[in-house]
Structure 1
Amino acid sequence: MSFIRAYLRASTKEQDATRARQDLVRFAEERGLRIASYHIENESGATLHRPELQKLIADAYEGDVILLEQVDRLSRLNSDDWNKLRADLKAKRLRIVALDLPTSWTMAGGDADAFTSRMFEAINDMLLDMLAAIARKDYEDRRRRSAQGIERAKLAGLYKGRSEDAELLFRVEEALRAGLSWGKTIKTVGCSRATVAKVAQRVRTADPTAN
């Protein structure tokens, strides 16, 4: 008998790592399944040094399911680190089920015949590698845009934040400049209202015509 183990992650302390918990619960309940454990942490997906993820892998039994909201919650790793993580998961034959990867949903029940299971496992391995590569590229693109945005802010005398908050602040600024409301920005980025207020003030100072 396999267990469903939910993994929820957010990149910074300000973000709500439990945001998708109800979506995972709903997914499991619709299939008559129950989540046996939750592993929640605020760590970057670009590093392998994630205590809760490592605890999950260590505690899991062969054939258990790791349930995710999105593949990028598991990995924004570079190629070498992703291959290491994949090897650890393979060693215990852990099955990855992600809400954003419908082909993986069949793996949640574990009641498919041997041929179907192997077919879906092969498809999901390919798609996982592809989505992990996309997540890494998105991470690198965000870091580059964040660095560019910070440099512009420094030149304007606006940026005084800590380096570890740079990506979060830039994502909030991107959302506001794209016209998202404060509430939508908080939900999309996963930050506090105070953070949105701070960035909104900076945006207005830099561009008095901005909304």
Structure 2
Amino acid sequence: MFVRAYLRASTQDQDANRAEGQLKAFAKDHGLKIAAWYRENESGTKLDRPELFKLLSDAQEGDVLLIEQVDRLSRLDESDWKKLRAMIDAKGVRITALDLPTSHQFIGANADSFTGRVLAAVNGMVLDILAATARKDYEDRRRRQSQGIAKAKTNGKFKGRPENVDRNAGIEGMLNSKMSWGDIQKATGCGRATIAKIVKRMKDQKAA
């Protein structure tokens, strides 16, 4: 059984590898070996995700797509989720998520044809429910965030996200010493987007 693990985080400032240990432990407990890893920092609300598409391109019928949670695979709206499900189904890939117990039942199982079809139907239904729940959670959080910002602006209290002054000063020093972006990321744990903002600010300051 060829298991392909997919790790995703929403932004460059988050760690896409956070759940790697959990996936390895799950695979070990079920007598599986993860043969390929796919990692990316992309929003789950986007259908166009290079590493996920690479996984599906590499996959063969019967392969397992292993994820920590269904929301790592999708926070898509209904239309895009249907497109992704169609792509996955067309490849014959089986989704196994740590938070989807019904998906664990097919791991290494030798069920007869009828039982296998029933398990697949139940798993598909629960998968759709969790994907819809993940999307609703995303939309609810965005709405609450917008409401909070609007209220803070009305009260004159909205200041935006506070800057990590000490870290950003250190990044400026590293840039001035010609360190590579990759080395800066390793040293500070920040994302490329953060470095790009600081580079732009440094250029603007020199131009002023």
- TM-score, length-scaled by structure 2: 0.74
1:132 alignment counterpart: 131
Report how far residue 130 of structure 1 moved. Answer: 0.7
Identify if the C-alpha distance between structure 1 residues 69 and 84 changes in structure 2 by more than 3 Å, giving closer, same or farther: same
Task: Say whether residues 1:109 and 2:108 are aligned partners.
Answer: yes
1:67 alignment counterpart: 66
SS in 2 for 1:109: coil
Q: Conserved in 2, the CA contact under 8 Å of 1:62 and 1:93?
A: yes
Aligned counterparts of 1:57 and 1:90: Cα–Cα separation in 2: 10
Q: Which runs of 5+ in 1 are unaligned?
A: 163-191, 195-211
The amino acid of 1:159's aligned partner reads: K
CA offset digits 1:95-125 (Å, max 9, x no partner): 0101101111022225333222211100011
Q: Conserved in 2, the CA contact under 8 Å of 1:70 and 1:101?
A: yes
Aligned counterparts of 2:161 and 2:70: Cα–Cα separation in 1: 30
CA offset digits 1:67-121 (Å, max 9, x no partner): 0111111111111100000000000111010110111102222533322221110
Aligned counterparts of 1:70 and 1:34: Cα–Cα separation in 2: 19
1:159 alignment counterpart: 159
Aligned counterparts of 2:50 and 2:107: Cα–Cα separation in 1: 24
Q: What does residue range 19-34 of structure 1 map to in structure 2 within 5 Å? A: 19-34=18-33
The amino acid of 2:23's aligned partner reads: L
2:172 alignment counterpart: none
SS in 2 for 1:97: strand
Range with greater deviation from structure 2 (150-159 or 93-102): 150-159
The alignment of Structure 1 onto Structure 2 pairs a total of residues equal to 164
2:118 alignment counterpart: 119
Aligned counterparts of 2:85 and 2:22: Cα–Cα separation in 1: 25
CA offset digits 1:27-73 (Å, max 9, x no partner): 11111110011111111111101111011001111111000111111
Aligned counterparts of 1:193 and 1:144: Cα–Cα separation in 2: 29
- TM-score, length-scaled by structure 1: 0.73
Aligned counterparts of 1:148 and 1:109: Cα–Cα separation in 2: 47
2:15 alignment counterpart: 16
Q: Conserved in 2, the CA contact under 8 Å of 1:150 and 1:159?
A: no
The amino acid of 2:101's aligned partner reads: P
1:56 alignment counterpart: 55
The amino acid of 1:150's aligned partner reads: I
SS in 2 for 1:40: strand
Aligned counterparts of 2:160 and 2:99: Cα–Cα separation in 1: 36
CA offset digits 1:157-203 (Å, max 9, x no partner): 433349xxxxxxxxxxxxxxxxxxxxxxxxxxxxx999xxxxxxxxx
Range with greater deviation from structure 2 (153-162 or 124-133): 153-162
Q: Which runs of 5+ in 2 are unaligned?
A: 163-187, 191-208
Aligned counterparts of 1:99 and 1:160: Cα–Cα separation in 2: 35
The amino acid of 1:131's aligned partner reads: L
Identify if the C-alpha distance between structure 1 residues 193 and 64 changes in structure 2 by more than 3 Å, giving closer, same or farther: closer
Q: Which has the larger radius of gyration?
A: 2
Aligned counterparts of 2:52 and 2:149: Cα–Cα separation in 1: 31
The amino acid of 1:35's aligned partner reads: I
